[in-house]
Each structure stands twice: as structure tokens, then as C-alpha cells.
Amino acid sequence: MGRLAGSASATVRIRPAQIGDANDVAGLLDELGYPCTRDEAVERISRVLHDPRLFLVVAEIEGAVCGLMSLDIRYSFARGAELARITALVVANRCSRQGIGRALLREAESIARQARAARIEVTSNPRREVAHAFYLGCGYSTGSRHFIKLLGD
């Protein structure tokens, strides 16, 4: 994933991820702070490809993968409606500020609308202040607090 020549004016292409994207997916997840090997990426992509309620797309500029977005559609008992949840969105550092994140968000919103989801949501680590500003600038608002508990050993 080297620097993209002339990428500032290049067209961003969004397409469904494929098994052959595993190296790029692993690298992007690493950049996001979620270490992932190529083999783990193959397994994750395969799982998405076999579940009609999961989506994974990549963004390309001049044939080079430079971002990804994963989304799931689920039923909310409390709301009585389908909801869309962005579970990962990352743009390679070398490709930032080129509209790729916005293109990925538009794709997520399009998928959510096609699935007749009532809303779309995304969570972001409290330390990711740049990401928070990005989502707010794209029309998202803050919502409920998110609590987690790890269920390990």
C-alpha cells in the first residue's frame, strides 16, 4: 500500500470486499488499532460473504485499496425496527483528506436505506477525537453511552 500518485484528483471506487483483499483488509485493521493477520482477514471476509446481513466494502483509488467499511443490519427489539451499525470504518493514513471516509459513509447509508433500516449508528473510541469531529461533520449526532464487558477467560 504505497503512496498514490495523483490521488487528490483520482476517483474513489467503492466495491464489495473479496477474499483477495485480505492483505489490504488486515493492514487497514492494523491501522485502526485492531491487529489482524492475513489469515484472520480471510476468515472474517468469508464470514461476511456468507451472511446476507453483513456487509464489507473497500475503497480504491487507481486500483489500490485505501479504506474499508463494515456494516451489519439487525433487528432492534426495543425500537421494533431494523437498524444498521457501522462496525469498522478506516481510511489508510496515506489517503486521508481525499473524501474516502465520506464516500464510505455514503455507501453505508445507501446499504442501510436499501435494507429499510430506521437508523444508522457508529461507535467510536473516546480517544478518537478526529473521528468524532468527522462523524459530527457528516450529520451524525451523539447518542447513548456505550458500555462494554469483555467475556474472556
User: What is the H or E stretch that residue 101 is in?
Assistant: helix 100-114
Other Cβ atoms closer than 10 A to 51: 11
CA 3 distance to own-chain centroid: 21
pTM for the model? 0.86
97: Cβ–Cβ under 8 A, 6 or more apart, which residues?
none
Mean pLDDT by 10 residues, the chain (153 residues): 48 96 98 95 98 97 95 96 96 92 96 96 84 84 83 80
Strands 64-76 and 81-91: antiparallel
User: What is the H or E stretch that residue 105 is in?
Assistant: helix 100-114
Task: Find out if CATH 3.40.630.30 is the number for domain 11-137.
Answer: yes
The total number of residues shown for the chain amounts to 153
pLDDT at residue 136 in the model: 82
Question: How many CA atoms lie less than 13 Å away from 125 in the CB half-sphere?
Answer: 8
Domain boundaries, the chain: 11-137
Contact 27, 40 (CB under 8 A): no
For 139, which DSSP code?
Answer: T
